[in-house]
Chains A and B, each alone.
Chain A
Amino acid sequence: MMETLSHLSLGFGVALTLKNIALCFAGCLVGTLIGVLPGVGPIATISILLPITFGLDPTGALIMLAGIYYGAQYGGSTTAILVNIPGEATSVVTTLDGHQMAKQGRAGIALGIAAIGSFFAGCVATLIIAALGAPLTKMALLFGPAEYFSLMVMGLCFAVVLARGSILKAFCMIMLGLLFSTVGTDLETGQERLTFGVASLSDGIDFSVLAMGVFGFAEVLRNLESPEARDVVKGKIGRLLPGWADIKQSAAPVLRGTFVGGILGILPGNGAVLGPFASYTMEKKIAKDPSRFGKGAIEGVAGPESANNAGAQTAFIPLLTLGIPPNAVMALMVGAMTIHGIIPGPQVMTRNPELFWGMVASMWIGNLMLLVINLPLVGMWVKLLQVPYRLMFPAILIFCCIGIYSVNNQPLDVAFTALFGLFGYLLIKLGFEPAPMLLGFVLGKLMEEKLRQALIISRGSFYTFIDYQERPISLALLIVAVLVLAIALLPSISKKREEVFTE
């Protein structure tokens, strides 16, 4: 406990420097902005901003990128409540009751409780990260190549199961990501693989090229299709601070949402998206009068919003302790860390304690800032929803091109990004979700490395992965992976799964 406190004080020392406060604020502001604007998500934004962070020190860069990520969770709820469009995938359920509340003239209360719930959840999640960080890092030392490989297999199984839409399509996307990751020079032999003689491919497909193409460019293309009409609540937003009755009604859902979201967030394979759904279902089941849900029940906003934010933050745990990104945004964080010469994993906490604890502390500060950014300034964000696409999209594209060019000073990179943009658009049109592909791409390099290491150490015996005497952890992880897939494929569960994702 004392140790955690001294770590946190180190963290606050780092996070409270003027520069880091400014970066945290910039991140939260940008995050809220893109959260509010439908169509531009945190994945696209972080991949666009990645090159800009080259000039910053790693701690500052990650503080800002993390701010964008959880800031987007706040901003997403504003759009969900006022416009009935989920600004982010995770605020889908907030549209159900949040927008109804807005129609009843209680928009301010809905926004207020969403922000307060998120703030509470963010604070608790920060404490969870601080408390779990050290023990999990110690556990990570028990992980050899075989365990890491099995852990990633499990993570990818979760990612398949938790992706929206068909399991088969998600599986295909992950496989495609893995395939992309094998392009480039072989680590052991120096042989070039799948480069087709193109010199710029000899070091593999650049992560930022792929991410910015499939997310940045493709998102813009996709948004060009949809009409600009938006159903912004015309009436007044009203009073923001919830009354005593509202708070009493929301307290328990906020606590439950924080708990559910926090736990699911730690799961590998994008468990964080499940949080809001799980919380909403739970509140509806517990409620005395479930029929109120969908008609403006405050619990239906308080619970999912807390779960959403708690999950967004606990998702950092696997990244910071094991070096394994649980979802596509965290995969981008891996990219950001690697660019700055930091290899994500258990050594981050011992070798760069100021980065680890500074980031944890900045999350708490960021949550406080977001409360201020979101509540009093909500009017400004609503106005932003009126910026026409014809100004916004060209600006985004130009920004992307400059960013991509500045990574390696290679004009060919811009062309590749455009190509991946078209490819990403095709995927969206065909109903393939590109996020699992990015996760597969990032994990692919690590998985191949770990697989080969494990096999070299075991002298080529695959038994090493299921050796219950020597490597029980690896065996356990693989069993969980198989179970998850099996359960998801059971007819009754797979039907239920479709319901959850279409709701």
Chain B
Amino acid sequence: MKKLVLGLAAATALAFTGGAQAQGYPTKPITMIVPFAAGGPTDIIARIVADNMSKTLGQQIVIENVAGAGGTTGITRAVTAAPDGYTIAMGHLGTFSAAPATYPGLKYDPINGMQTIGLAGGTPILIVARKTFEPKDLKEFVAYVKANTDKVNEAHAGLGSVSWTTCTLLKGILGTPKINAVAYRGTGPALNDLVSGQVDFMCDQIVSVAEQVRANTIKAYAIASAQRSPALPDVPTTKEAGLPDYQIEAWNGIAGPKGMPKEAVDKLVDALDKALNDEGTKKRLLDLGTVLPTAEERTPAGFAALIKRDADKLTPALSAAPKQ
């Protein structure tokens, strides 16, 4: 049924665009697999970006949500599809950099086994704690956690989630991988128990925690980015606050199967760049707390370097983390 609809849409598009454009890529709608449920942060970013990219490409980018196994089900399907440029995926830090160390049986290789297109945007990570937690700033926090490894509790949104990944990295850097990790089904419930003081601290994306930090129901020690965020200007960076090693961002980016035609890659890179320069698209992304990618990160090579850099950073901590 789906194929029939796509086919019809393609035929209609052909009839309208005429022969000249039909020669080159793309001649039919492109499927962008989002490996999470509709409505989540990755899905929203994918829809915003795909909407503008479709205009540049002259063909619709159709979002298909294939959720499961921390996003690896959808990415597996995308990068093992025919490399014709008509199946791509919007993945994130977890599926591209953390997955190989998180899921031992992973069926794809993000470093050597796929064609990167470019980064769509990054989201800063914050270290937050319950309001009544003793340490006043990041330096005290580090000292306290190291001294009380067997007492503090960290909350996260489940194995493979951004909060689990980034907090496991933090614990690796602090040299305290054994800290009690309490798993929740999603950021919402975890944050709830942080507000009510049941758990001590967590790491999560600025979009999820900013509201509670501003309402002063939880406190933020630092933001793990190079710059402070305009959304929370009072929160220092990890560099300013004394933990320069902890630098991590949750990001979303586009990739496809290895061996895609060069023409398709070039056109997709160009469409992504145009989308990120479009005022309307930019505003919608910035409103979500997204940091726009640099010119370098918008290229296949730049994005691949980012994936590799974060994978190298995460792998030691994630491999050592207790699982399976």
Q: How far is the CB of A197 from chain B (nearest CB, A)?
A: 12
Q: How far is the CA of A44 from the CA of B103 in the complex (A)?
A: 38
Say if the beta carbon of B6 comes within 8 Å of chain A.
no
Say if the beta carbon of B102 comes within 8 Å of chain A.
yes
Q: How far is the CA of A146 from the CA of B243 in the complex (A)?
A: 34
* CB atoms of B182 and A190 under 8 A apart: no
Task: Tell me which of B39, B40, B180, B196 contacts A143 (CB under 8 A).
Answer: B196
* CB atoms of B69 and A457 under 8 A apart: no
Say if the beta carbon of A145 comes within 8 Å of chain B.
yes
Task: Tell me which of A189, A345, A351, A452 contacts B189 (CB under 8 A).
Answer: A345
Given contacts A144-B198, A341-B40, A346-B192, contact A457 B153 (CB under 8 A): yes
Contact with A along B195-207 (1 / 0, CB 8 A): 1101100000000
The A-contacting residues of B in range 149-188, CB under 8 angstroms, are 150, 153, 158-160, 180-186, 188
The A-contacting residues of B in range 105-161, CB under 8 angstroms, are 150, 153, 158-160
Say if the beta carbon of B2 comes within 8 Å of chain A.
yes
Q: How far is the CB of B207 from chain A (nearest CB, A)?
A: 13
Q: How far is the CA of A186 from the CA of B70 in the complex (A)?
A: 12
* CB atoms of B184 and A453 under 8 A apart: yes
Q: Which residues on the A side are within 8 Å of B2 (C-beta)?
A: 409
Given contacts A142-B196, A453-B183, contact A188 B159 (CB under 8 A): yes
Say if the beta carbon of B23 comes within 8 Å of chain A.
no
Q: Which residues on the A side are within 8 Å of B103 (C-beta)?
A: 190
* CB atoms of B324 and A449 under 8 A apart: no
Q: Which residues on the B side are within 8 Å of A341 (C-beta)?
A: 37, 39-40
* CB atoms of A141 and B182 under 8 A apart: no
* CB atoms of B324 and A144 under 8 A apart: no
Q: Which residues on the A side are within 8 Å of B211 (C-beta)?
A: 351
Contact with B along A328-361 (1 / 0, CB 8 A): 0000000000001101011100010000000000
Task: Tell me which of B67, B69, B70, B198 contacts A145 (CB under 8 A).
Answer: B198
Q: How far is the CA of A386 from the CA of B69 in the complex (A)?
A: 49
The B-contacting residues of A in range 386-438, CB under 8 angstroms, are 409
* CB atoms of B159 and A340 under 8 A apart: no
Q: Which residues on the B side are within 8 Å of A457 (C-beta)?
A: 153, 180, 182, 198-199
* CB atoms of B189 and A187 under 8 A apart: no
Q: Which residues on the A side are within 8 Å of B193 (C-beta)?
A: 144-145, 453
* CB atoms of B185 and A190 under 8 A apart: no
Contact with B along A447-473 (1 / 0, CB 8 A): 001001100110100000000000000
* CB atoms of A185 and B69 under 8 A apart: yes
Q: Which residues on the A side are within 8 Å of B322 (C-beta)?
A: 189
Say if the beta carbon of A202 comes within 8 Å of chain B.
yes
Q: How far is the CB of B88 from chain A (nearest CB, A)?
A: 18
Say if the beta carbon of A295 comes within 8 Å of chain B.
no
Say if the beta carbon of A203 comes within 8 Å of chain B.
yes
Given contacts A449-B183, A453-B184, contact A190 B195 (CB under 8 A): no
Say if the beta carbon of B323 comes within 8 Å of chain A.
yes
Say if the beta carbon of B316 comes within 8 Å of chain A.
no
Say if the beta carbon of B68 comes within 8 Å of chain A.
yes
- Count chain A CB atoms within 10 A of each CB in B38, B67, B185 and give the residue with the most: B185
Given contacts A188-B183, A190-B159, A347-B188, contact A202 B196 (CB under 8 A): no
Q: Which residues on the B side are within 8 Å of A409 (C-beta)?
A: 2
Q: How far is the CA of A145 from the CA of B193 in the complex (A)?
A: 8
Q: How many residues of B contact A (CB 8 A)?
A: 36
Q: How far is the CA of A341 from the CA of B40 in the complex (A)?
A: 7
Q: How far is the CB of A447 from chain B (nearest CB, A)?
A: 12
Task: Tell me which of B39, B67, B186 contacts A203 (CB under 8 A).
Answer: B67
* CB atoms of B180 and A452 under 8 A apart: no
* CB atoms of A190 and B184 under 8 A apart: no
Q: How far is the CA of A185 from the CA of B102 in the complex (A)?
A: 14
* CB atoms of B153 and A449 under 8 A apart: no
Q: How far is the CA of A453 from the CA of B67 in the complex (A)?
A: 25
Q: How far is the CA of A452 from the CA of B184 in the complex (A)?
A: 10
Q: How far is the CA of A445 from the CA of B186 in the complex (A)?
A: 13
Q: How far is the CB of A14 from chain B (nearest CB, A)?
A: 20
Given contacts A453-B183, A459-B180, contact A191 B192 (CB under 8 A): no
Contact with B along A128-172 (1 / 0, CB 8 A): 000000000000011111000000000000000000000000000
Q: How far is the CA of A449 from the CA of B184 in the complex (A)?
A: 7
Q: How far is the CB of B33 from chain A (nearest CB, A)?
A: 12
In the complex, residue of chain B having the shortest beta-carbon distance to the beta carbon of A192: B69
* CB atoms of A187 and B158 under 8 A apart: yes
* CB atoms of A202 and B69 under 8 A apart: yes
Q: How far is the CA of A54 from the CA of B39 in the complex (A)?
A: 10
Contact with A along B1-14 (1 / 0, CB 8 A): 01000000000000
Q: Which residues on the B side are within 8 Å of A340 (C-beta)?
A: 39
* CB atoms of A345 and B39 under 8 A apart: no
Given contacts A457-B180, A457-B199, contact A187 B192 (CB under 8 A): no
In the complex, residue of chain A having the shortest beta-carbon distance to the beta carbon of B215: A350
Q: Which residues on the B side are within 8 Å of A143 (C-beta)?
A: 196
* CB atoms of A141 and B159 under 8 A apart: no
Q: Which residues on the B side are within 8 Å of A185 (C-beta)?
A: 69
Q: Which residues on the A side are within 8 Å of B160 (C-beta)?
A: 190
In the complex, residue of chain A having the shortest beta-carbon distance to the beta carbon of B195: A141
Q: How far is the CA of A187 from the CA of B102 in the complex (A)?
A: 13
Contact with B along A85-117 (1 / 0, CB 8 A): 000000000000000000000000000000000
* CB atoms of A343 and B183 under 8 A apart: no
Q: Which residues on the A side are within 8 Å of B158 (C-beta)?
A: 187-188
Task: Tell me which of B68, B153, B188, B195 contacts A343 (CB under 8 A).
Answer: B188
The 4 closest A-B pairs by CB, nearest first: A144-B198, A343-B188, A190-B159, A341-B39
Extra pairs beyond A456-B182, A457-B182 (7, CB < 8 Å): A187-B183, A189-B159, A203-B69, A345-B188, A345-B192, A456-B153, A457-B153
Interfacial residues, chain A to chain B (CB-CB below 8 A): 54, 141-145, 185-191, 199, 202-203, 340-341, 343, 345-347, 351, 409, 445, 449, 452-453, 456-457, 459
14 example contacts (A-B, Cβ-Cβ < 8 A) are as follows: A143-B196, A144-B193, A185-B69, A188-B323, A189-B322, A189-B324, A190-B102, A190-B324, A203-B68, A343-B188, A449-B183, A457-B198, A457-B199, A459-B150
